[in-house]
A and B are shown apart, each in its own frame.
Chain A
Amino acid sequence: MRRSERLRVLANEPLGPYALVRVERGSLDPGIPGQFFMLEAPGRPLPRPMSLCQAPPGELAFLLEAVGPGTRALAATEPGDELNVYGPLGNGYRLEVERPLLVGGGIGVAPLPYLSQRLGAPPALLGFRSDWHAEAAALVPNAEVVVEPILVTEQLTDFVRDAHKVMACGPEPMLEAVRAIAPDAQLAWEAPMACGYGACYGCSVEIDGVLQRLCIAGPVLEQNGGTHGSPVGPLLYTTRRRADSWAPAGQSPATPVDATSRPSRGSRE
């Protein structure tokens, strides 16, 4: 059952370039691995969706990479600070899997420690862009770690041939590559979110050719069988920008529909 609660930060530990922010659990349910929580980002208008990294008794721990104003604010929290936390939200990984293999890339390792704990430390394959980033691998037991230029997908084929079932989280290109090798993989995706529970339609992405709210259709999706019974196909999240976005109306072959370029009636604008 999801709840909203104001929780105290217990610790903020650097881990390579990442921050492991541990907050008291309060009465919140840690949920299923792969589910997420909306975390207040101090000083920012919107909270940030974060999957749960660890669930030690009495605590919830989140692994963050400070890449924007919200994650920077969260990474700067100190013990004693209080944050509003809302969750658990969305659909996590389906845990009834034979021969699971956890696959993570970069900050995408975030949900894997909790997943590993719940599954009894199955084998894991983790990829990072540097040795410094790879310090986060310490959170996942039984892990084989690769650092660029070696990619996790280069090691993945042997595991898949070995009938392992992939449960992955990472950057979108990695997930696409994983899916090409393991079509039945359970993949955790991400999108900007505002509410986290289906109200605002802000996180809609293209799933199986249809725009769906990732917060309630996902964030974990799988192609066959579907998380919670909903079959899922290709996901197209990347919004490719046209190079001519700024071209004046009429000079672009695909001028965006924009009411300001049409005669204004004055009364409605």
Chain B
Amino acid sequence: MILNASGCLDALEAPEVARALDAFVTKTVTPQPREGNRPVRIAETEAGMLNSIGLENPGIEGLLSAKLPRLAELGVPLWVSVGGFSASDYADLCAVLDGRAEVATIELNLSCPNVEEAPESAAEIVTAARTRTAKPLYAKLSPAASDLPETARAVQAAGADGLSLVNTIRGLALDERTLQPRLGHELGGYSGPALKPIALAAVYQCYRATGLPIVGMGGITTGLDALEFPADPTRRPRVGSAGNSPKSSPLVTSRTPRKFAGFRTGPGRCVLPE
């Protein structure tokens, strides 16, 4: 399966791309609308990019009224990414989404590097969310955890059905003339090719620790990159900012699914693209 990474594709602006995916993952939605972080929000680096968007989104009401019905018309399974600032935020969002038939899966964004975190642990948030929805729950974790497999085991015990690995990793880029931060929020989340070995290690370790289905993402730029992720057919490669590289602008293009199409059938039966 091939999915987009949350926040890297607007399915309503580029429906032809979204329809070519096996599932579309929304940008993270929070209980209230958020304006996001102050500009400048993106900075290219030598091997990728930093972003500090800050979870700009229309809030759950905005998503449900303005976007979800149109997303459902795409005919692609919908994964809704949810974020919050407390366990009850996540739980409330899951309760609302539980009643919406359009939603196939809920992804808990437990690792945005650009906003304040909820005070509870990842496992506590999954526990709270689990009580409010029967839909599949995927926990999206940061690769920066000191003991990521332990976190993975904890969210599994709390009721997560799968893992999304990995989110961006915190970084800082400086203006070469002023040596001041280039991002308005100063720190941002790094994504790009250098994230791939880190993501692969996370997938490898967490799969061994839990056996859970895993959506692998981070630094996937080519079909061969994607091939390294689904060593087990239950793991789904996902394309994020790498889909934004010059070879495949915009973030995820109509060419992207074709680029990865050979890998859709799983290892051993794939046809390598040129």
Contacts and interface: CB of A to CB of B under 8 A. Distances in A.
Given A4-B253, A47-B246, A199-B13, A204 B41 contact: yes
Give the residue among B10, B42, B51, B181 with the most A Cβ atoms within 10 A: B42
Contacts of B45: 45
Contact of B39 (A70, A205, A259): A205
Contacts, number: 163
Given A191-B39, A204-B39, A199 B10 contact: yes
Size category of the B interface is: 35 or more
Nearest to A213: B56
Contact of B41 (A47, A199, A202, A269): A202
Contact of B117 (A41, A216, A239, A268): A268
A47 B51 CA distance: 15
A42 B75 CA distance: 36
Contacts of B32: none
B102 to A, nearest CB: 20
Contacts of A204: 36, 39, 41, 53, 56
Interface in A210-244: 210-211, 216, 237, 239, 241
A175 B47 CA distance: 33
Main secondary structure on B side of the interface with A: loop
Given A196-B250, A200-B251, A45 B47 contact: yes
A144 B43 CA distance: 37
Nearest to B7: A200
Contacts of A260: 170, 187
Contacts of B35: 210-211
A203 interface: yes
A267 B53 contact: no
A149 interface: no
A267 B251 contact: no
Given A45-B192, A268-B122, A269-B142, A200 B51 contact: yes
B251 A40 contact: no
Given A194-B241, A197-B13, A267-B123, A4 B249 contact: yes
A40 B14 contact: no
B21 to A, nearest CB: 14
A72 B178 CA distance: 20
Given A45-B48, A197-B250, A199-B8, A257 B39 contact: no
A98 B147 CA distance: 66
B24 to A, nearest CB: 12
B121 A267 contact: yes
Interface string B131-164: 0000000000110111100110010000000000
A41 B145 contact: no
Nearest to B41: A202
Given A199-B14, A267-B145, A267-B154, A42 B246 contact: yes
Nearest to A216: B13
A24 interface: no
A136 B146 CA distance: 55
Give the residue among A42, A259, A268 with the most B Cβ atoms within 10 A: A268
Interface in A184-211: 191-206, 210-211
Interface of B: 7-10, 13-14, 27, 35-36, 38-45, 47-49, 51, 53, 56, 110-111, 113, 116-117, 121-123, 141-142, 144-147, 150-151, 154, 170, 178, 180-181, 184-187, 192-193, 241, 244-251, 253-255
25 contacts: A4-B254, A4-B255, A40-B249, A83-B246, A84-B248, A86-B249, A192-B41, A194-B251, A197-B10, A197-B250, A199-B7, A200-B7, A200-B53, A203-B39, A204-B41, A204-B53, A216-B13, A241-B178, A256-B185, A256-B187, A266-B146, A267-B154, A268-B142, A268-B151, A269-B145
Interface of A: 4, 38, 40-42, 44-47, 69-70, 83-84, 86, 191-206, 210-211, 216, 237, 239, 241, 245, 256-260, 265-269
Q: Which 9 A-B pairs have the closest CB atoms?
A: A40-B246, A202-B42, A199-B10, A195-B250, A47-B249, A195-B251, A239-B184, A46-B44, A267-B151
Given A195-B251, A204-B41, 19 more contacts: A41-B246, A45-B245, A46-B42, A47-B244, A69-B44, A83-B246, A84-B249, A199-B7, A200-B251, A202-B41, A202-B51, A204-B39, A216-B13, A258-B186, A259-B113, A266-B147, A267-B147, A267-B151, A268-B142
